[in-house]
Structure 1
């Protein structure tokens, strides 16, 4: 069988979109995934994904084990930042300055590409774009870029004078070499097409990050007198719109507010929580989906301080809520508004003033068991089974 190479600067578990891709293709191709091993919440979940996909070749870069190459890569990152003002248009300098994993990932895929002849390389995350372009050009193979986020619109944490420009240059240079570009939301696709010069020969399509249809079991009946809301993410911390939850919890003692994720202790240390705010640790995807069927309302919240990417992306949590049959209360972002307007059933509504006010006037008939089942059934129209057909058509 022909060989496909997937590369990312993240761990497997923190990139569920990548997982769905190689799981869709592994029966027709030999799939190799180069990723990172993170010693955090994702470690156990990544091991489970590997165990479930034994036919896939996983090459995990463990920075605790690859100490020397990690140090070298970080030094190259620091040097690139130093010389960045003098080489603003240099693709390699911009790439190395943007991510301290890029140089390390490049060395790994260079060696790999000498040993294996690949049909196509698929890059996830901005830090993987430069190594992917290098392999594509050196092997003369197809290059596919997956744009799950609009990277220039994400928050800046270092090299703030030049990092946004670096991201734009990496995107444009990479797009110049790509054969295929996939986008995770219509908002991201529109923004990229507006910002960058993309050849008409490049195949572009939007593949939303939907979950598999059978990942979500029919909702169960919940206690009629207790509404249960839920919010989940990898981390519970600032700039996530959670202040609305804490405020609403104090005003609505008859509603439960379930928060799932790793708690940022610094963020919560001075907050006094109402008793109806209930914390849960990060769950595996299957456990999370099982938990969602016991809930009534999914909270798709964004902070006013959130970066521009959050306005145009479509988050995993938003799609999970819809597919689970929950009624979604969502911050008015382009991505969430566009999706709610594009489907042919009432999956939720945009928050007009505050979460607390929306909960005060919400129609309780939306949460009777049959209403939840109706939403769950309607949402089956945009499952991963539907979206993956677009992916399969590319190969």
Structure 2
């Protein structure tokens, strides 16, 4: 929206307690705002080493300004260590003495206070928070600058880790949400289920779902048929109890079918050893073809994924948030043109029911059902080809950032003009 006083586009500051490479949703929003003519500043903090590695190349190509606070493990280490000490102290105070006097904000995130102090240095017309630990910083900065603020609820934060309302994490995040969300000028959410559940808590707020989709695939789909079926799963980090065990047990049932299982993400030695132990326990007739891939640049992920046949969206439903989430994982597969096999969580069921030709569902932990779905694709290669084409077409027609981008920019325009 044009500023009526000086005919210059508004300045918008996005604040995250993560970092750009690890938050493609923030990057897409920042790019969209710049392309719409806004001045954009992104303020973030260090999260991990491989994210920092790829941030360097990512940020060099962006037209928006980016500022990191709180140091890192290999730069401004004293600031980083001090922020960790303060964060841990905040946790102790909040656990044993309550959330008042700023203890909740200190306990919430390592850099919440530093994000706020940096945001104050950049007067803006609109401040947008990504991740809950950025919300207090954005609300306070907006109040100080007499500006507006928004919050993108990528998760159902109060139940990200636990569902038990007595758990410290649940109580802390609930306190922060109820303190700061009422003070925002707009809210977006990453799925209809997350938006609906927050709407029940904050009925006076309008919450707009903005899906975790990606720009339309600029490459023509090339489905190469081969004798080996290739399964693909990825995440920022590889962990246990995230559905991978279902796949390993299904592979045992599918012996001796020619199947490759590709896993991409940051993999620690203990997790790799634990997976190896599961494989050993299953007593495969032949060693299964499992390939581990290091994290890659986000811009390369969809093209990398397109070499596989089936994308695995294996949410386990361990928390309310996990049941309601539509992660960028499932939309990456759709954009890359992979057949989808997804666990039957409410949000993923809603998506597959709406686009039934793009894949199949199975109940979490039901590895026998998973093996039947995979076997059906092996036995019916035409079905696999048709499913992949349907997924690709869904990404080109509706499930893409071009569609969601217009919704996001409409929210920003309406907020600034209200």
Q: TM-score, normalised by structure 2?
A: 0.85
* Dislocated runs of 4+, deviation >6 Å: none
Q: Which of 134, 139, 146 in structure 2 is aligned with 1:140?
A: 146
1:58 aligns with 2:66: yes
Match of 1:23 in 2: 31
Match of 1:221 in 2: 223
Task: List alignment gaps of at least 5 residues for structure 2.
Answer: 1-8, 280-286, 414-418
Deviation, 1:72, is 4.3
CA distance in 1, matches of 2:372, 2:48: 41
Match of 1:315 in 2: 327
Deviation, 1:104, is 2.4
Q: Which of 257, 260, 278 in structure 2 is aligned with 1:256?
A: 260
Residue pair 2:359, 2:387 contacting (<8 A) in 1 also: no
1:373 aligns with 2:389: yes
Task: List alignment gaps of at least 5 residues for structure 1.
Answer: none
Q: 1:289-329 CA distances to partner (integer Å, 9 max, x unpaired)? A: 1122221111111236x332111010111111122221111
1:358 aligns with 2:373: yes
Residue pair 2:199, 2:207 contacting (<8 A) in 1 also: no
CA distance in 2, matches of 1:320, 1:233: 11
Deviation, 1:77, is 2.7
1:341 aligns with 2:353: yes
Q: 1:155-184 CA distances to partner (integer Å, 9 max, x unpaired)? A: 26xxx8422111011111111100000000
1:101 aligns with 2:103: no
Deviation, 1:198, is 4.3
Secondary structure of the corresponding residue to residue 361 of structure 1: helix
CA distance in 2, matches of 1:360, 1:191: 37
Residue pair 1:120, 1:143 contacting (<8 A) in 2 also: yes
CA distance in 2, matches of 1:6, 1:330: 32
Match of 1:188 in 2: 194
Deviation, 1:79, is 3.5
Greater CA deviation, 66-75 or 185-194?
A: 66-75
Q: TM-score, normalised by structure 1?
A: 0.89
Match of 2:83 in 1: 73
Residue pair 2:302, 2:333 contacting (<8 A) in 1 also: no
Name the CA shift for 1:126/1:371 in 2 (closer, same or farther; >3 Å). Answer: closer
Residue pair 1:91, 1:173 contacting (<8 A) in 2 also: no
Match of 1:197 in 2: 202
